[in-house]
Chain A
């Protein structure tokens, strides 16, 4: 899949933003006034900034409001609803915490639920696609949720929670890569089933429909960046998990915490780039590519 910057920025920043909102809604950290204002501002900047970025790749962003209509079948539509509900509920909750010194815990619980549901529905947009076996696994929502919670805990300064959550996210990441590498093969889809000619012999793509490229190849067959995938996995893993864990184990300071957050952010963004760049869409088979 083409690793479009808009979707990488969206899933990375929004995941982190809604993760932070989750912890703020539970009163972690228990802050009020200006300190609370800064925390909520960061969370909203990340969550809303990511959502705005996601509209950049639309052909007609001015019609984006229509995406709220099909929640009965469409995960993209459900994600839109969850995001708006989470942001509105948490906005009300934030007013209480920042200006009135009140913690309306019921609102907080609802906000926490919808923050997580937003991340879950985002992950389901990818997970539902049978056409991309590497995404069509239970580990995809597990990865999005564990990343969001670990990043949220890190941003919220909850060191004792962040450490185990980072370790869980790291484990899910490794499992996702291991299972994902075999996903296309195990799906049973190949050029033989794609053409229906597989039982007659070995099928080979002889000639493509056009000498030039097309939308399908640009969108679904991204081969160039896969060359450095192994190195990027190591870099991503080190930045997202190893370095933040080491920094958290050192005596706590604002500088180390900031470094841990930035390192984690860069690592997750790299992992998301790989999430798209390494995903093989079955339509590539028709072109003799993957």
Chain B
């Protein structure tokens, strides 16, 4: 049913650290790799080796430049996938009941055999988290690797979403954001985790940790600097005469 649950037992989601993310896109690749061959229809590509390639991705990494009023501009890599919103507009707009939010863990999923590919859920998502697969004609979205996190056939260390397992910088964290004592909740509290587009009223479960303030380069004392002072002096003798003569020409 497309009626949202009034509350979910747990709020499983991601915490993404914008301070640590190096923008390597490893999470994008591992997400596509895992999800194209597991849950639901594959993530197709069109014209993959041609002049105009495009394809379905559940996770994409943007890069933004932030220019403060004073000081240096900062480059921030910005991974974005489904935020598994508590008040998910993509679920309530669905005419067929294909989109739903699970009561047990709050994960938003698509039942692909009920999806008519009308695209309205993607229209209602402010984050661009849903993409209509061009080969299959059904809506694809992040499943929070629902086929990994409870999968007892996998070693325990692998029972996290593929993007989290892959991230070499440790910029992605997975856990229950409904439990105030969980590691992810503590991290959010400590670092001032934020919502994207809070004005949309979607109440995203996923949180973003803002970049830490940068050191100010100008204020730093460099102990080697005095030793590197320029040593060039005013030329003397022939070179001085040549310098003056050339100036006059």
Residues of A near any B CB (own CB < 8 A):
1, 57-61, 63-64, 66-70, 72-77, 80, 125, 128-132, 187-189, 191, 193-197, 200-210, 212-216, 219-220, 281-283, 286-287
| Option from A74, A196, A212, A214 in Cβ contact (under 8 Å) with B93 | A74
CA distance A66 to B138 in the complex (A): 14
Known: A63-B116, A131-B123, A214-B131. 8 other contacts (CB 8 A): A72-B3, A125-B120, A197-B211, A202-B67, A203-B64, A204-B66, A220-B123, A281-B123
A63 to B64, CA, bound (A): 41
Measured CB to CB, the nearest residue on chain A to B55 is A214
**Which residues of chain A are near B76, meaning CB under 8 Å?**
195, 197
Q: Are B123 and A214 in contact (CB under 8 A)?
A: no
Residues of chain A with a CB closer than 8 A to B1's CB: 70, 72
Which of chain B's residues have a CB closer than 8 A to the CB of A204?
A: 64-67
Contacts of B62 in A (CB 8 A): 205, 207-209, 286-287
Instruction: Report the minimum CB–CB distance from B99 to chain A (whole Å).
Output: 9
Across-interface contacts of B18 in A (CB, < 8 A): 197
Contact assessment for B201 and A130 in the assembled complex, using a CB-CB cutoff below 8 Å: yes
B151 at the A/B interface (Cβ < 8 Å)? no
Q: Does B95 contact A (CB under 8 A)?
A: yes
0/1 interface trace, chain B 130-168, chain A, CB 8 Å (1 if under): 011110111100000000000000000000000000000
Q: Which of A73, A132, A215 has a CB less than 8 Å from the CB of B131?
A: A215
- Of B181-189, B192-200, B230-238, the segment with at least 4 beta carbons within 8 Å of chain A is B192-200
Q: Name the 5 nearest CB pairs between A and B, nearest first.
A: A59-B117, A59-B137, A209-B60, A201-B68, A67-B95
Q: Are A74 and B126 in contact (CB under 8 A)?
A: no
- B69: interface (CB < 8 Å): yes
CB distance from B107 to the nearest CB of A (A): 19
Q: Which of B28, B67, B98, B122 contacts A219, CB < 8 Å?
A: B122
Once the chains bind, are A200 and B56 in contact (CB under 8 Å)? no
7 A-B interface contacts by CB (under 8 A): A66-B97, A70-B95, A70-B96, A130-B200, A197-B66, A197-B76, A210-B57
Q: Which residue of A lies closest to B47 (CB)?
A: A212
Interface status of B178 (Cβ within 8 A of chain A) = no
Asked whether A131 and B64 contact (CB < 8 A) given A197-B76, A215-B54, A286-B128, the answer is no
The residues of A that contact B199 with a CB separation of less than 8 Å are: 187-189, 193
- With A63-B114, A200-B68, A206-B64 in contact, do A283 and B128 touch (Cβ < 8 Å)? yes
Bound complex: CA A202 to CA B56 (Å): 30
Given A189-B200, A201-B69, A209-B62, A129 and B124 contact (CB-CB distance below 8 Å): yes
* B114–A206 touching, CB < 8 Å: no
Chain A residues within 8 Å of B96, by CB: 63, 66-67, 69-70, 77
The answer, yes or no, to whether B119 is at the interface (CB within 8 Å) is yes
Give chain A residues whose Cβ lies under 8 Å from the Cβ of B194.
196
User: Shortest distance in angstroms between A56's beta carbon and chain B's nearest beta carbon?
Assistant: 11
The CA of A219 and the CA of B89, in the complex, are separated in Å by 18
For B242, what are the chain A residues with a Cβ–Cβ distance below 8 Å? none
Q: Would you give the shortest CB distance from B50 to chain A, in whole angstroms?
A: 10
Q: Which of A76, A208, A214, A286 contacts B95 (CB 8 A)?
A: A76
Residue of A nearest to B52 (CB): A212
Given A193-B199, A283-B126; A205-B64 close (CB under 8 Å): yes
